[in-house]
């Protein structure tokens, strides 16, 4: 959408190139709804309209400098050329609509502005672009809305008439706006505040999660028989991404037209109305296959993720399942991380539900990374504030409700706010039930239901929900962490627990911050003192909590390094002077399962903690 226009950071002004340019912004009215009703016909019609626009740009000197979904942003050297081009485009679209079926008809809004812009490579940013985007939002369907700077320049140079809308304030931008007169459109009143309110609402509603298209993977094997395998990978990634429901995913029927295409990524993305493209290739040699997948931000034309798999083809369907599931699981957080980075480029007082959700995700990640309780509480509070704004703007935003549930789950266990535990648990249940009602197949919804069962002390139901979440998405990070915790507490298969924790960290490296600690407990359960020590060292590089001093003393004692363990015991007791005897330590020793607790206690005894 046009709202996705970004604003450059104003630092280092001396390095910024500027110019005056005429900016043309357009997008399709009701594009998302049309895609939901009939994706293939919508994309076919959109491409037909794009061809009309491209020819007009070529004729009138327009240059496209950015596309975002169904939005097109172009610059002109001449204000007259831009106005004539916009007017001819709307006329041609009207003529086209008369000759096609109702579901093939399209309507566009256009905004034109002349103003100061910032040059960065082939792209343009700044106030001149943002004002044009606001004017596009002010425009009527099938209409053209222009700034006073345009009218002053072209008023006596064209036969067109302009209706004065007066000063309009859309979000934080004030602009003197005009409609280009059209006998088929309503004549709107000057200084009507409802126009700006409607435009602001349109901006909020149309700034949504970015769409993703998975293009047919390339068969590099010179073996046509491998086409079924290649197409199967593509279809399965689309299927698994669609199940996640985080982003709109273009269907397999719509992307098949791009099989073996050599078109540039930005052209393909523009034609499909998407912001991200997943591409890949498969090369077979003997009984081995190499599969490469990559994710491209088509708006910025930059690669943001890639991975290569080398596998044996002993079980082709197993390879297909593994690669497609894992690709889908890794693509989703990669897109969210990239969108989070773009938050700093957006106007913070013009956020949509999607933007507020990204802010909430960002604050939650900062909470995970925080070292002090004060920092954690500050960031979790911000996450909740943004999450509540996201759900207020879109009451059906299940991901935002899930994040609110996660945030309150954190607060339930946070020792410094135990006086509000009952209130936080009530909110956790409320948000969990709402998210599950909206999307019962979302693994986060399922996992939050599992934690509800955990609070009800129903271990069997908790395990059922964990398993169900992993059936929906075998690479879901939170579910893998929960499975690992189950295995750790059971104490039957510590290696399987390590595998679950490792896979969770691989999928979401910025996720929950206790990954290395639980892996330490697994090594401890295996009595692999060396690996347990290595895990502690890794954890202590990032987290110097006093509990690790005690863990270190215990493990070193088990290794037979008694003198070194005694040094760590002294450090531990210096930080925890209340721990004077074994009975004191027994009251605070990790209570994951009896075996691990007894190993920790025995290690402290060997280190010299008195009875």
pLDDT band, residue 16 (cuts 50/70/90): low
Beta bridge partners of 115: 21
Q: Check: CB of residue 70 under 8 Å from CB of residue 106.
A: no
pLDDT band, residue 195 (cuts 50/70/90): low
Of residues 67 and 498, the one with the higher pLDDT is 498
Of residues 404 and 130, the one with the higher pLDDT is 404
Rounded Cα distance between 381 and 392, Å, is 17
Kindly state the tokens that stand for 121.
Answer: 């490579």
Determine the pLDDT at residue 223: 75
pLDDT in tens, 65-109: 888 778 899 999 999 999 999 999 999 999 999 999 988 999 999
Determine the pLDDT at residue 346: 47
Q: For residue 197, is pLDDT > 80?
A: no
Determine the pLDDT at residue 248: 78
Listed ranges 87-96, 392-401, 416-425; the one with the highest mean pLDDT: 87-96
Of residues 275 and 351, the one with the higher pLDDT is 275
Q: What is the mean pLDDT of residues 170-179?
A: 79
Determine the pLDDT at residue 511: 57
Q: What is the mean pLDDT of residues 148-161?
A: 89
Q: For residue 532, is pLDDT > 50?
A: yes
Q: What is the mean pLDDT of residues 476-493?
A: 88
Kindly state the tokens that stand for 423.
Answer: 């209130």
CA 117 to chain centre: 28
Determine the pLDDT at residue 193: 66
Rounded Cα distance between 246 and 210, Å, is 9
Q: For residue 184, is pLDDT > 60?
A: yes
Determine the pLDDT at residue 127: 84
Residue with tokens 């909206």: 438
Kindly state the tokens that stand for 560.
Answer: 């037979």
Q: Check: CB of residue 176 under 8 Å from CB of residue 66.
A: no
- Distance in angstroms between the alpha carbons of the first and the last residue of the chain: 69
Determine the pLDDT at residue 2: 38
Determine the pLDDT at residue 265: 82
Kindly state the tokens that stand for 28.
Answer: 């399709």
CA 469 to chain centre: 20
> Residue ranges of the alpha helices (H) in 343-442?
353-369, 373-393, 398-413, 421-438
Rounded Cα distance between 38 and 573, Å, is 68
- Total number of residues shown for the chain: 611
Determine the pLDDT at residue 12: 38
Determine the pLDDT at residue 286: 80
Listed ranges 45-59, 194-208, 330-344; the one with the highest mean pLDDT: 45-59
Q: Is the dihedral of CA 196, 198, 199, 204 positive or negative?
A: positive
Rounded Cα distance between 91 and 72, Å, is 18
Rounded Cα distance between 62 and 43, Å, is 23
pLDDT in tens, 425-454: 999 999 999 999 998 988 899 999 999 998
Q: Check: CB of residue 248 under 8 Å from CB of residue 211.
A: yes
Q: For residue 421, is pLDDT > 50?
A: yes
Determine the pLDDT at residue 514: 58
Residue with tokens 């809308």: 165
Q: What is the mean pLDDT of the chain?
A: 84
Q: What is the mean pLDDT of residues 533-546?
A: 83
SS3 for 52? helix
Domains of the chain in start order, with CATH, are 2-206 (3.30.70.1230), 212-331 (3.40.50.10610), 530-607 (no CATH)
Of residues 174 and 165, the one with the higher pLDDT is 165
pLDDT band, residue 348 (cuts 50/70/90): very low
Q: For the chain, what is the total number of helices (H) and then of strands (E)?
A: 24, 13
DSSP β-ladder status, 276-285 and 218-219: parallel
pLDDT band, residue 461 (cuts 50/70/90): very high
**Percentage of the chain with pLDDT > 70?**
90
Rounded Cα distance between 188 and 99, Å, is 29
Determine the pLDDT at residue 4: 35
Q: What is the mean pLDDT of residues 522-538?
A: 91
Residues with Cβ within 8 Å of 585's Cβ and at least 6 positions away in sequence, in order, are 550, 579, 601, 604, 609
Determine the pLDDT at residue 344: 55
C-alpha to C-alpha distances, 248 to 111, 274, 327, 486, nearest whole angstrom: 26, 9, 16, 34
Q: For residue 410, is pLDDT > 80?
A: yes
Determine the pLDDT at residue 510: 54
Q: What is the mean pLDDT of residues 384-395?
A: 88
Burial of 444-468, coded b for 16+ CB within 10 Å and e otherwise, reads bbbbbbbbbbbeeeeeeebbebbeb
SS3 for 23? strand
SS3 for 299? coil
**Percentage of the chain with pLDDT > 90?**
31
pLDDT band, residue 113 (cuts 50/70/90): very high
Determine the pLDDT at residue 178: 92
Q: For residue 163, is pLDDT > 60?
A: yes
């Amino acid at each position: 959408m046009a709202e996705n226009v970004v604003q450059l950071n104003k630092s280092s002004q001396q390095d910024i190139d500027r110019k005056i340019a005429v900016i043309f912004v357009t997008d399709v009215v009701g594009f998302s709804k049309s895609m939901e009703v009939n994706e293939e016909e919508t994309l076919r019609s959109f491409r037909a309209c794009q061809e009309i626009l491209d020819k007009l740009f070529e004729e009138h000197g327009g240059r496209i400098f950015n596309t975002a979904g169904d939005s097109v942003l172009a610059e002109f050297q001449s204000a007259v050329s831009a106005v004539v081009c916009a007017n001819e485009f709307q006329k041609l679209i009207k003529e086209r609509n008369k000759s096609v079926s109702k579901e093939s008809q399209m309507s566009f809004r256009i905004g034109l502005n002349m103003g100061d812009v910032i040059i960065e490579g082939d792209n343009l940013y700044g106030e001149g672009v943002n004002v044009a985007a606001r004017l596009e939002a002010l425009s009527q369907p099938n209409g053209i809305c222009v700034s006073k700077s345009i009218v002053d320049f072209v008023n006596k140079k064209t036969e067109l008439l302009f209706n004065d809308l007066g000063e309009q304030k859309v979000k934080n931008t004030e602009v003197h706006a005009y409609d280009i007169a059209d006998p088929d459109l309503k004549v709107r009143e000057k200084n009507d505040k409802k126009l700006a309110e409607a435009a602001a609402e349109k901006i909020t509603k149309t700034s949504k999660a970015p769409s993703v298209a998975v293009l047919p993977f390339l068969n590099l094997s010179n073996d046509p028989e491998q086409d079924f395998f290649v197409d199967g990978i593509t279809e399965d990634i689309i299927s698994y991404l669609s199940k996640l429901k985080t982003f709109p995913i273009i269907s397999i029927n719509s992307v098949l037209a791009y099989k073996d295409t050599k078109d540039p990524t930005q052209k393909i993305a523009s034609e499909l109305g998407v912001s991200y493209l997943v591409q890949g290739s498969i090369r077979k040699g003997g009984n081995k296959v190499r599969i490469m997948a990559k994710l491209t931000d088509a708006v910025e034309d930059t690669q943001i993720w890639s991975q290569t798999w080398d596998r044996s083809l002993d079980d082709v369907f197993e390879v297909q399942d593994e690669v497609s599931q894992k690709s889908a699981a890794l693509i989703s957080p990669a897109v969210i991380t990239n969108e989070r980075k773009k938050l700093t480029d957006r106007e913070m007082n013009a956020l949509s539900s999607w933007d507020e959700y990204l802010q909430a995700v960002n604050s939650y990640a900062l909470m995970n990374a925080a070292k002090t309780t004060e920092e954690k509480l500050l960031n979790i509070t911000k996450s909740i504030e943004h999450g509540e704004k996201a759900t207020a703007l879109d009451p059906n935003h299940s991901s935002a409700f899930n994040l609110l549930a996660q945030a309150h789950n954190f607060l339930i266990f946070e020792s410094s706010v135990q006086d509000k535990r009952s209130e936080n648990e009530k909110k956790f249940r409320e948000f969990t039930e709402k998210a599950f009602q909206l999307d019962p197949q979302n693994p986060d919804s399922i996992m939050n239901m599992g934690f509800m069962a955990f609070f009800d002390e129903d271990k069997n139901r908790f395990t059922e929900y964990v398993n169900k979440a992993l059936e929906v998405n075998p690479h879901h990070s939170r579910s893998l962490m929960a499975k690992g915790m189950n295995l750790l507490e059971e104490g039957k298969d510590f290696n399987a627990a390590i595998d679950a924790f490792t896979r969770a960290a691989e999928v979401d490296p910025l996720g929950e911050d206790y990954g290395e600690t639980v892996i330490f407990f697994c090594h401890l359960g295996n009595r692999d003192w060396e690996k347990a020590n290595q895990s502690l060292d890794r954890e202590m590089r990032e987290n110097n909590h006093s509990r690790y001093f005690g863990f270190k003393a215990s493990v070193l004692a088990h290794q037979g390094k008694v003198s070194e363990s005694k040094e760590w015991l002294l450090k531990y007791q210096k930080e925890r002077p209340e721990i004077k005897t074994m009975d004191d330590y027994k009251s605070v020793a990790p209570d994951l399962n009896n075996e691990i607790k007894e190993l920790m206690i025995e290690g402290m005894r060997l280190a010299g903690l008195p009875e």
